[in-house]
Every structure is written in structure tokens, then in C-alpha cells.
Amino acid sequence: MAQTPARAETLRRLRAATGRLSTAALRRLDADYPWFKALPAEERSWVGIVAQAGISSFVAWYADPQHSHRSATEVFAAAPPELTRSVSLQHTLSIVRTVVEVVESHSDDFASPGNEVEVRQAILLYSREIAFSAAEVYARAAESRGAWDARLEALVVDALVRGEVDDDLPSRAAALGWNAGPTLVMVGTTDGALGEVQSAELRRTLRRAAPGALVGIHGEDLIVIARSDGDHAELTRSLLTSFGPGPVVLGPSAITLVEVARATRAAVAGVAAAPAWSLAPRPVGADELLPERVLVGDAAARERLIAIAYDPITRAGGSLQETVATYLDCGRSLEVAARTMFVHANTVRYRLRKVAELTGWDVLAHRDAHVLETAFKLGRLRDARRPRL
């Protein structure tokens, strides 16, 4: 644009008024927006820097709209990226609007005679450019945060799957919004291999049902870790539809990150072991798959099965351990077990009912008998390896 005498005079006046316009803009922000007053001093100074940079950028832009040395986008480089977290896009646009209004309200003061209309048009044109630039900055910041959050989420889920709860994991989980509390862990598979778009849609679907859930998609494996104070049974039903065909395993109850890690590892092992139980329900609890998890080499399952299904019976003393062992070794026959022990069949039945009350497993039921039989074999093997006093 040609530099006419009137335009040159306007530019001179505008440069001289930059400090006064910046001060007026900050006063307007302080007077009109309670959220600006509530900002910490450091962040208020950042906003002030952005406002001043916006006015300086307008001066440079007015001097040469085609080859400005400082574009509208660069205005926001004056403040650190963290400003996009503490000041929303809506508030930023309010800042832009206020600065533009201040400049426009003083336009007659710095516009040379006869150049007022051109100055107002320039202000309107620049305000549009700066507003679009603000939106672009926030879009890029959101995209960057999204990519960072995705990487951080993958690190947290991978650590939980491996059971590596180090000193950094709580802060990483907290950065994703996770805090200690009742947590549901579900592991299964996706409906085939997913592309990037399909994976993103699946994550959105899962988070609509469980806001803030951590989601891990490893190939066709799907891991959901949902912190919720609500009804976990209802939450399970709503999440189940997002899993593909095949077993879906629920981890044990968990509250702390250490417990969530154990639950996640148990559920992952459960998915690998579930095909060994053809009648397994869907979903199925990881603790319901303890015998099958032992078969796939899950050491934690072996120790837990012994602890909850063998040790309580041996500690109970009396004839309970002998009765269960004899019943199982005699082909699960009450009559054969009774003859072997030289007692009545009703005595065997009574003792087995006491075992059900003690452990929660009814050895007279086929599945429960399988669990106890596996536990007894593991317990005997452990006891045989213990040094004798």
C-alpha cells in the first residue's frame, strides 16, 4: 500500500500512542472481567504482554500489511504455552476484542485528518486476522496436549500391565486426571485390527460411558481402567458392548495404583487363560479363572489360589483337609470317600458343607471342585518343597 503523507502521519501518531493504548487496554480488562482480576500475578503479566504485543503488532501491520515483521500469530509467542491452560480461548478472544475496542475508541486521536475511515477499516481487518490467529494457536495447543496425553496414557497403561509402579507413576496418572478410588479393570479384545480413526472413535465411546477412563489398545488387545464411585456392575454392562468377540475379564477390586496394577495383570493373564474354560461367562472375573491362569504360568494366580482355597482349609484343622483330599482323590464320590475314611456318607457331606462355608467353594459343585482340586495339588507341591524342621 502506498505510503501517503496522511498515512505516514497516522503511523507516527500511532507509534507514539502505543504505551498509552496498552495501559488503557489493561485497565479495561481489569474493570470488565472478574476472571482477569482472579488470575495470579504472573498470569496477569502474561496477559498484559499479549495485549501489548497485539497493539505493537497492529502498528507493524499497519506500516506494511503485506510484509509485516511480526504476524498476528506471533503475538501469542510473547507468552508461554502454559497460558492456553489457564486462560481459555473464550477469554483470549475477550482480550482481543477489548484491545481492538480500545484501539478503535482512540482511533480519532491518532488518525491524521481525513484518514479516520481508513484507520477504522484497518482495525477491523486486523481484528479478524488476530482472532483467527488466536483460534489457530489454541487449536495447535489442544492438538499438542492431545498427543502428549495419548503418549502419557500409553506409558501409564503399559506400566500397569507390567506391574511397574514406580515413584513417577502416581504423578503421571494424576496428570491424566486419575485419583485413588474404586477402579474397574476390564481386559478383552477389539473387533479386529483398528486403524487410527477407529481407535480414536473407540476411545471416545468408552469415555462417554466412563469419563476419565484410561484406555490401552495394544494390537487387538483392549484394556480399560475406569475410576468410578458408581455401580461397577452397571458400568461393566455399558462398557462390554465396546469389546470385540472373545473373553472379557474383570480384574479384582482395586483402589490404589498398586492394586490397579495387580488387577490389570490378573485380567490380562485371565484373557490368555479363558479359552481353557469353555463355559466361562462373559465377562468373567480374573479370580474365577485362577486354575486356568496357573496353567498359563501366572505365578500370582498360583499363590492366590493356594492362599484362598487351600490354606484356610489346612488351618481349620480337624478332618476338613483329609475329607476334601479324600473326596477329590476318590473321583468326587461321596460313597467311595466315606468307605475310604470309614465314616458315613452324610458325615462326608456335612464336612464338605463346612468347607463351602469356610472358603465359598462348594466342592460338590463341578466347577468349584475343579478349583479346589487344583488348589490342593498346588498346595501339596508347595508343602513338599518346604524344608522340614
Q: Concatenate the DSSP letters of all residues of 336-367 into one string.
A: HHHHHHTS-HHHHHHHHHHHHHHHS--TTSHH
Buried b (16+ CB within 10 A) or exposed e, 133-145: bbeebbeebeeee
Q: What's the structural domain count of the chain?
A: 3
Return the closest-CA partner of residue 215 out of 229, 231, 233, 202. 202
Phi-psi region of 383 (alpha: psi -120 to 50; beta: other; left: phi over 0): alpha
Shared domain check, 361 and 255: no
- Which residues, 6 or more positions from 191, have their beta carbon under 8 angstroms from its beta carbon? 243, 244, 245
Identify the domain containing residue 242 by its residue range: 170-287
Shared domain check, 240 and 181: yes
- Which residues, 6 or more positions from 299, have their beta carbon under 8 angstroms from its beta carbon? none
Indicate whether 41 belongs to any domain. Answer: yes
Shared domain check, 98 and 210: no
pLDDT at residue number 284: 94
pLDDT at residue number 69: 41
Residues of the chain with pLDDT under 50: 1, 68-70
Shared domain check, 269 and 214: yes
What predicted TM-score, i.e. pTM, was given to this entire model? 0.62
* Phi/psi at 285 (5° precision): -75, 145
For Cα atoms 229, 234, 240, give the angle at the middle one, nearest 5 degrees.
115
| Cβ neighbours of 109 (radius 10 Å) | 11
Indicate whether 294 belongs to any domain. Answer: no
Return the closest-CA partner of residue 52 out of 32, 66, 70. 70
Indicate whether 300 belongs to any domain. Answer: no
In the chain, alpha helices (H):
5-16, 18-32, 34-38, 41-63, 83-86, 89-105, 107-110, 116-162, 169-175, 196-209, 232-240, 257-273, 290-295, 299-309, 311-316, 320-329, 334-341, 345-359, 366-385
Shared domain check, 60 and 107: yes
Shared domain check, 105 and 66: yes
Residue with cell 478503535: 104
3-state DSSP assignment of residue 249:
strand
Indicate whether 296 belongs to any domain. Answer: no
Shared domain check, 372 and 280: no
Q: How confident is the model over 331-355, as pLDDT tens digits?
A: 888 899 889 989 999 999 999 999 8
Indicate whether 375 belongs to any domain. Answer: yes
